[in-house]
Amino acid sequence: MPSWAGFLGCTAWFASPKGGVTGFLTILFTLCSGVLWAQVIIAGSAVAPELAWLSYAMTGVVAFLMCIQARQTLLGFVPGTFIGACATFAGQGDWKGVLPALLLGLLFGVAMKCSGQWLAGRCEPEKTTATE
């Protein structure tokens, strides 16, 4: 499992404007869809490797579709889709290694934010009211 992909999953959590369960599900679905789109590009490029222009055109069409899918609520975080795809390309198409690392990184991101908020709450001085 590539550790760098874990950092990307964590980064997706901190980059998302949404938090909570909705934010988590949105990032989860966009990371997974990015991995799927990358596999589509990889498989499509292998059909006619001698026609590089065809691979470039297909990549452009798929990138457009990756943006269009954001109209769906749970696929509305475009950077998550591109993070999933880029991680798959960097992992040379090994989605079975990249996907668990991305998802584990996402869980670590949630844990880091929750523990950071908990720690910040414990470090704040207690507010007291002085009565005269």
* First-to-final CA distance of the chain: 62
Task: Give the HSE-up count for residue 52: Cα atoms under 13 Å, Cβ half-sphere.
Answer: 0
- Domain span at 32: 3-112
Closest to 92 measured CA to CA, from 26, 45, 60? 45
Is 126 among the domain residues?
no
- Calculate mean pLDDT across residues 7-22: 93
| Per-residue pLDDT tens over the stretch 75-117 | 999 999 999 999 999 999 999 999 999 999 999 999 999 998 8
Is 120 among the domain residues?
no
> For 118, left (φ over 0), alpha (ψ -120 to 50), or beta?
alpha
Is 132 among the domain residues?
no
Is 125 among the domain residues?
no
More confident residue, 5 or 75: 75
- Calculate mean pLDDT across residues 47-54: 89
What confidence score (pLDDT) does residue 4 get? Answer: 84
CA–CA distance, 132 with 130 (Å, rounded to integer):
7
Closest to 67 measured CA to CA, from 96, 37, 89? 37
What confidence score (pLDDT) does residue 49 get? Answer: 85
Task: Count how many domains the chain has.
Answer: 1
Compute the mean pLDDT over every residue in the chain, rounded to the nearest whole number: 91
CA–CA distance, 67 with 35 (Å, rounded to integer):
14
Is 103 among the domain residues?
yes
